[in-house]
């Protein structure tokens, strides 16, 4: 079986309009290994993620915000805008890949949009920490 190139994988994701966690991780892994990849097709489209990823991501975001008791965490990364987006959550979209590295070393991670009825924001996770960038 022939190895699927990153360009073919990205074209397939755009054509389907949905990306699995495995596909997203494969693109990141290849980019972290030094492969140059054109992501403009992803940036131009609305790429959904699977229902399993949506559930996993929403539960993770809620856990960043509130403890299981329902109390807001002291180290919550969210402001009012992000809290409203999570409260009124409608969907996630895969926004592309973000370089979370430093000046000397690139480290590529998935970038997601959180869409709510009352707002939205963009974030990535690096080192287990939620970084809100938009």
Q: What is the pLDDT along the chain (134 residues), one digit of tens a residue?
A: 578 888 899 899 999 999 999 999 999 999 999 999 888 888 877 899 999 999 999 999 999 998 888 888 888 899 899 999 999 999 999 999 999 988 889 999 999 999 999 999 999 999 889 999 98
Domain-embedded: residue 1 = no
Domain-embedded: residue 31 = yes
**What predicted TM-score, i.e. pTM, was given to this entire model?**
0.88
**Range(s) of the domain holding residue 79:** 6-132
The total number of residues shown for the chain amounts to 134
CA dihedral 100, 61, 86, 41 (to 10 degrees): 40
Domain count, the chain: 1
């Amino acid at each position: 079986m022939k190895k699927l190139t990153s360009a073919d994988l990205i074209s397939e994701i755009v054509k389907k309009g949905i990306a699995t966690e495995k596909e997203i991780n494969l693109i990141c892994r290849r980019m972290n290994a030094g492969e140059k990849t054109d992501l403009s097709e992803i940036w131009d489209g609305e790429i959904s993620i699977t229902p399993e990823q949506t559930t996993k991501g929403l539960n993770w975001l809620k856990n960043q915000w509130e403890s299981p008791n329902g109390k807001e965490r002291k180290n919550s990364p969210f402001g009012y805008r992000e809290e409203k987006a999570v409260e009124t959550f409608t969907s996630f979209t895969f926004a592309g890949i973000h370089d979370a590295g430093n000046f000397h070393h690139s480290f590529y991670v998935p970038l997601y949009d959180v869409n709510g009825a009352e707002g939205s924001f963009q974030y990535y996770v690096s080192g287990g920490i939620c970084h809100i960038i938009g």
